[in-house]
Amino acid sequence: MKPRHLLIATALLTASAAASAAPKLPQHADLDLASARQLSDLTLEACRAAGRSAVVSVLDRGGNLIVVQRGDGVGPHNTLASQRKAYTALSTKTPSQLLAERARANPDAANLNTLPELLLLGGGVPLFAGDALVGALGVAGAGGADQDQACAVQAAERFGLSIAPAQR
């Protein structure tokens, strides 16, 4: 074999080995800006249908804030509350209302309220596409934890996401 052909063959084998050695990374569904805006609009609509206004925060699966919208007349403290509710739901993969109920029933879980990022009040829901966690939604200022939770759940369902992973 000529040296030039040997060099080309070696290069091809090396490239082939490198390609097959590349790790097969998992693919993830993600919420994008357009989806987050639509989800936020659906949430505010759900609150308005109940005669309420609110602040809505949408996080991606990494906990990054994508969208925050505040309805008219909602107090400024609700902005941070909606973000913390969404973060609580995302980080625990549990609706914040359910987490709050568990914390009241279990003294060990009650210590979760000492983490400054978590807010154990209804209104935060994790968002699942099938069994994949894709983000979270937080609602605050709609008149109480039950109303906040209802707006979030209704919007997630209308958007086609669930608040719990699909059962296998």
In a domain, 141, yes or no: yes
In a domain, 2, yes or no: no
Alpha helices for 22-105 (secondary structure H): 33-49, 77-92, 96-105
In a domain, 117, yes or no: yes
In a domain, 97, yes or no: yes
| CA atoms within 13 Å, Cβ hemisphere of 60 | 12
Q: At 60, which CATH number? A: 3.30.450.150
- The model carries a pTM of 0.84
In a domain, 22, yes or no: no
61-97 confidence digits (pLDDT tens): 999 999 999 999 999 999 999 999 999 999 999 999 9
| Domains of the chain: total | 1
User: Are 3 and 19 spatial neighbours (Cβ–Cβ below 8 Å)?
Assistant: no
87-127 confidence digits (pLDDT tens): 999 999 999 999 999 988 988 887 888 888 999 999 999 99
User: Residue 117 is part of which domain span?
Assistant: 33-159
